[in-house]
Amino acid sequence: MFQLNKKIAVVTGGGSGIGKAVALLFAKQSAEVHVMDLNEEACNATVQEIKGNNGKAVAQVCDVSDQKQVREVFSNIGKVDILVNSAGISHIGNVENTTEADLDRLYNVNIKGVYNCLQAAVSIMKQNKAGVILNLASVAGIIGLADRFAYSMTKAAVYSMTITVARDYIHEGIRCNCISPGRVHTPFVDGYIKKNYQGREDEMFEKLSKAQPIGRMAQPEEIACLILYLCSDEAAFVTGCDYPIDGGALKLNN
Which residue type, as a one-letter code, is found at position 21? A
User: CB-hemisphere CA count at 13 Å for 28?
Assistant: 14
Rounded Cα distance, 182 and 179, in Å: 10
What's the start-to-end Cα distance of the chain, in Å?
37
Helical spans, DSSP H, in 37-112: 40-52, 67-77, 100-106
Side-by-side strand order, sheet with 8-12: 56-61, 32-37, 8-12, 82-85, 131-136, 174-181, 242-245
87 residue type, one letter? A
Residues 77 and 74: their CA atoms lie apart, in Å, by: 5
Angle at 42 between CA 38 and CA 46, to 5 degrees: 115
Identify the active-site residue in 151, 192, 197, 229. 151
Residue 151 annotated as catalytic: yes
**What distance lies between CA 117 and its chain's CA centroid?**
12
- How far apart CA 134 and CA 239 sit, in angstroms, is 10
Catalytic residue set: 151
